[in-house]
A and B are shown apart, each in its own frame.
Chain A
Amino acid sequence: MGSDIFEVGVNFGKMVLIFVMMVQIVPLLVWVERRGSAFIQNRFGPNRVGPLGLTQLLADAVKFIFKEDFLPEKSHRLVFYAAPIMALIPAALAFAAIPLSMPIEITQFEMLGSIWGPYRFVFQGYEIGIGIVFVLGVSSLAAYSLLMAGWASSNKYSLYGALRASAQTISYELALGLSLVGILLLFNTFNFQEIIVLQDKALAFSFFGQEVSLGWLPNWGVFYQPLGAIIFFAAMFAECNRLPFDLPEAEAELVAGYHTEYGGLKMNMFYIGEYGHMLVASALMVTFYFGGYSLGPWLTEETVNGLSQWIVESISPTIVYLMDIPFPESFAAIFEASQNKVNILTAFVFHGVFLGKVLIFLWLFVHVRWTLPRFRYDQLMDLGWKTMLPWALANTILTAIVVLVMRMN
């Protein structure tokens, strides 16, 4: 929580910001999805409302909010209303546990006549020691929202969609969990922060007693666990119920699956849940296999620190000069150059790196959706149980043997 009012306030504000970040990426992603699908299928897509169709999102939001709130006659009221809210919770909880950038060290400073600090703020909602287990556990709760929505609608198609969805999430969770065991064995920790720090250097490992080092490549998990990365990414598609795994809402067979009876803001919440899941999936992929917020030898912390020091030192005097109005003495310090501002700027630069990587994977999600057709249901189950699970198991065993041999001496 925090030791004084400043720390507690910052930590609470951080939670709200991270949730808002997850919610606000949804309209952008919807826009990317529609424009991207149009680009892939050689169409125009939404281009009438505002520049590049960007304010279409606003129009959609207004429509979602002001639509009539209706309830099917035979539905189970409490569960029907609880399901969309339940759709938001797992993605939000999981996203808040992922480090979005390096922790910010704040030294002592003076504000409003008193001394504050020193503090250490983590750039994430909350730091949980067993990050991987927590995120897996929380995201496995997503099946409830689908089941509740499908059952409470009292609609055959909804129920079929819900059953398909939950069977699919349970099946693919096994492959998902097993593909992560390789990463666990390799990095020897559950903690996201430690995993990222271990990847933040040049690629180096010992191969039968010989030190192999490739200075121009970062020490990313994907170079050690390529099979694990592929299985993890494919299983994440299934967990998000995205094409080619979107059997639960196969419109040709099931109308719209579990959210057939939903409309307006409740429908929108399912959307936010789905896109939030995509965001969590991309963030996890980046954290486990692509170095999180770090860029290894390509962009070291010293470089960014020097850069932000230069920026802060050259911008601060200008602002102080421009704002030449009689400030209260206690506010003047806000605009002066200091180590704290350099640290904050550095953290935000690395946050930008993280967001860039996440956006690449989100674009991959969109691209795959509009490229591959949907599976048949038995193909889906065969892929999960007969292909991905054995491969993930083999990957685990192979990694265990290799790690054991490498660490023998």
Chain B
Amino acid sequence: MMSAIFFYILATLILVFAYKTITANNPIHCALYLAITMINLAFLFFGLNAPFIGGVQLVVYAGAVMVLFVMVLMLFDLKSEIRAFSRGLFSGLLKIASAGLIFGILSNAIFKTGDLLGLASGGPGMPDPAGTSRDLAIMLFTKYLFAFEALGLLLLLVAVGAVAVSRIKGGTHAN
């Protein structure tokens, strides 16, 4: 009962702020709304007895990735960004195309799921909160070890690439 109430409050907040994310004009406001959406999502995970995923969501997405986004956005000349964002044929086409894509994904998901609003029967119950992080770690380091390491390598490559690009294109770190 209590968890259901919390779920619906959080779900409403997530929907409202996600809507604000795509409708706000100012890029900074968009980023901040997205951050609020992610924080709400983290607390939704806590409510679903998956505290480790919730904590990681807070640390990685809300705490690190979005902070970097906001920081970079604040360095832009926002007036021209807003104009480039809200006018012009190309960006209009881009908007229509992405709206169509999202609509397609959503409608496909809804139609393929079938009995969406029916009661769940059987299926996995609530996980044990103490065991989940251990299970997750064991899975990551045995069954999915290759994918995990490959992802780590990919991120390392991206970081090295970013440093290399910033050194070629000039700026404070040019040689």
Establish whether residues A170 and B74, one from each chain, have CB atoms under 8 Å apart when the complex forms: no
- Shortest CB–CB separation between residue A342 and chain B, in angstroms? 30
B44 surroundings in chain A (CB, below 8 A): none
Known: A79-B32, A129-B51, A148-B32. A141 touches B58 (CB 8 A): yes
Establish whether residues A144 and B130, one from each chain, have CB atoms under 8 Å apart when the complex forms: no
B59 within 8 A of A: yes
The prevalent SS among residues of A at the interface is helix
B39 within 8 A of A: yes
Interface size on B, residues (CB 8 A): 28
Give residues 32-72 of B contacting A (CB, 8 Å): 32, 35, 39, 42, 46, 51-52, 54-59, 62-64, 67-68, 70-71
B92 within 8 A of A: no
Establish whether residues B74 and A147, one from each chain, have CB atoms under 8 Å apart when the complex forms: yes
Establish whether residues A140 and B64, one from each chain, have CB atoms under 8 Å apart when the complex forms: yes
Q: Please, how many angstroms separate the alpha-carbon atoms of A262 and B71 in the complex?
A: 20
Q: Please, how many angstroms separate the alpha-carbon atoms of A16 and B156 in the complex?
A: 45
B94 within 8 A of A: no
A129, A144, A190: the one contacting B67 at CB < 8 Å is: A144
Known: A133-B56, A134-B58, A167-B71. A140 touches B63 (CB 8 A): yes
Q: Please, how many angstroms separate the alpha-carbon atoms of A143 and B157 in the complex?
A: 27
Number of A-B pairs whose CB atoms are under 8 Å? 80
Establish whether residues A173 and B64, one from each chain, have CB atoms under 8 Å apart when the complex forms: yes
Establish whether residues A137 and B74, one from each chain, have CB atoms under 8 Å apart when the complex forms: no
Establish whether residues B51 and A137, one from each chain, have CB atoms under 8 Å apart when the complex forms: no
Establish whether residues A129 and B130, one from each chain, have CB atoms under 8 Å apart when the complex forms: yes
A130 within 8 A of B: yes
Give residues 81-116 of A contacting B (CB, 8 Å): none
Establish whether residues A151 and B28, one from each chain, have CB atoms under 8 Å apart when the complex forms: yes
B86 within 8 A of A: no
Chain B residue at minimal CB-CB distance from A135: B55
Among the interface residues B35, B46, B71, which one has the most CB atoms of the partner chain A within 10 A? B71
B32 surroundings in chain A (CB, below 8 A): 79, 144, 148
B64 surroundings in chain A (CB, below 8 A): 140, 170, 173
Please name 12 pairs of A and B residues whose Cβ atoms are closer than 8 Å in the assembled complex, sorted by A.
A79-B29, A130-B129, A133-B59, A136-B63, A137-B57, A137-B58, A137-B62, A159-B74, A162-B74, A163-B75, A166-B67, A170-B68
Residues on B lying within 8 angstroms of A by beta carbon are 2, 28-29, 32, 35, 39, 42, 46, 51-52, 54-59, 62-64, 67-68, 70-71, 74-75, 129-130, 133
Other CB < 8 Å A-B pairs besides A79-B29, A143-B63, A143-B67, 18 of them?
A: A79-B28, A128-B46, A128-B51, A129-B129, A130-B52, A130-B129, A133-B56, A136-B63, A137-B58, A140-B67, A144-B32, A150-B74, A151-B28, A163-B74, A163-B75, A166-B67, A173-B64, A177-B59
Residues on A lying within 8 angstroms of B by beta carbon are 1, 79, 128-130, 133-134, 136-138, 140-141, 143-144, 147-148, 150-151, 159, 162-163, 166-167, 169-170, 173, 177, 190-191
